[in-house]
């Protein structure tokens, strides 16, 4: 059976993605990291980091906190790195201008798949810029 990330994250995809955009890879933080796990979606155009409302109950405003959406376009990414812990991993994405985004609490298999894909995109963007 083919891996279909859009099926797994279909409720989020309906709300967040543009009509001509589709999910290539996706990963969810482990419940060992947080009670309300965030989601990282890699689409054909950008990276979306979504930190859901408390316990991921719904989008919009919740009693505890609202959902947070972070857009990272591929041409803004300069470097990625993977930090392996004993149980969970973290991905650090360095952004043009000196900033960075960190996504903690990923399972090792998901994290290595995401980092491999992001590295290929960075190399392709560098080749395109030359």
The model's pLDDT over 18-32, given as tens digits with 9 standing for 90+, comes to 888 888 888 888 777
**Highest mean pLDDT pick, 22-36, 40-54, 58-72:** 40-54
Q: Does residue 69 surpass a pLDDT of 70? A: yes
If you average pLDDT over every residue of the chain, what do you get?
Answer: 79
Three-state secondary-structure class, residue 9: coil
**Highest mean pLDDT pick, 27-41, 46-60, 97-111:** 97-111
Query: What's the pTM?
Result: 0.75
Residue 73 backbone dihedrals phi, psi, to 5 degrees: -85, 145
Selection from 9, 4, 53, 47 nearest residue 28 by Cα:
9
> In this predicted model, which residue has the larger pLDDT, 112 or 1?
112
Range of the domain at 53: 5-129
CATH assignment at residue 123: 2.30.29.30
What is the count of structural domains for the chain?
Answer: 1
Q: Does residue 12 surpass a pLDDT of 80? A: no
Please write the tens of the pLDDT for every residue from 95-122.
Answer: 988 899 889 889 899 899 999 999 998 8
């Amino acid at each position: 059976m083919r891996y279909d990330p859009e099926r797994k994250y279909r409720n989020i995809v309906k709300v967040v993605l543009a009509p001509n955009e589709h999910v290539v890879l996706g990963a969810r933080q482990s419940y060992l990291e947080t009670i309300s796990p965030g989601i990282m979606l890699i689409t054909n155009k950008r990276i979306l980091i979504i930190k859901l409302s408390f316990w991921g109950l719904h989008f919009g405003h919740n009693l505890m906190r609202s959902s947070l959406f972070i857009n990272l376009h591929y041409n803004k990414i300069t470097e990625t790195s993977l930090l392996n812990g004993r149980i969970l991993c973290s991905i650090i994405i360095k952004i043009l201008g000196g900033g960075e985004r960190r996504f903690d609490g990923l399972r090792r298999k998901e994290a290595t798949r995401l980092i491999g894909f992001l590295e290929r995109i960075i190399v392709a963007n560098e080749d395109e810029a030359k």
